[in-house]
Amino acid sequence: MVKADETFFLRSSKGQRTGRQSRKRGGRASRKERGMDLIPVLVARDRSGGGGLAADFLLEAVSKACLSQALESRIQSDAVLCTDGSAAMAAAAKELRVQHEAVNLSLGERVRDPWHIQNANAYHGRLKAWLARFKGVATSHLESYLGWFRALDRASKCRSKTAPMLALAPGLDQHH
């Protein structure tokens, strides 16, 4: 079972000289430009045996095409995709030909038998708490920060913390 949900980050031009007015103390997305101010990130988690899938994807938009493209190489055809019931996720599941189970969060349904997206939401919380220490991340670097956090999150589950992190070091010859 693959649990998937999207989260959003405020577009940031931190450190860049742009024509956009700066926000006071981080600010919020303006109502009229909310779609342009928010950057969607898809989180997919599969906790079933063998380590499972743990991935996050920076999306251009929350659409069937973007979601399908992000998940197609990562999700197996016999998987069950559990989501929050968004129409785009349902359409992506149909396009990928995987079973789709939706949890209706708007009705207060957090868990329905084995179906829930708590793992994806917990990952969102850990990611956002970790990013808070940087006091904002430029959107142009967001994908790198996602990769960094993904590596730290995976390493936190290993007994030997140094080996996985050393394997990620650039230029390290893994044949010796």
Residue ranges of domains in the chain:
2-12+29-139
- Listed residue (82, 80, 84) closest to 6, CA to CA: 84
Mean pLDDT (whole number) for 104-117 = 63
Mean pLDDT (whole number) for 83-99 = 87
Mean pLDDT (whole number) for 154-172 = 63
Averaged confidence pLDDT in the chain = 76
Cα separation of 44 and 139, whole Å? 21
Cα separation of 127 and 132, whole Å? 9
Answer yes or no: is pLDDT of 176 > 60: no
What is the model's pTM? 0.73
Cα separation of 163 and 25, whole Å? 39
Task: Name the architecture of domain 2-12+29-139.
Answer: 2-Layer Sandwich (3.30)
Which of 36-50, 116-130, 138-152 has the highest mean predicted lDDT (pLDDT)?
138-152
Cα separation of 93 and 128, whole Å? 27
Query: Phi first, then psi: what are they for 42, rounded to 5°?
Result: -95, 130
- What is the structure's pLDDT at 129? 92
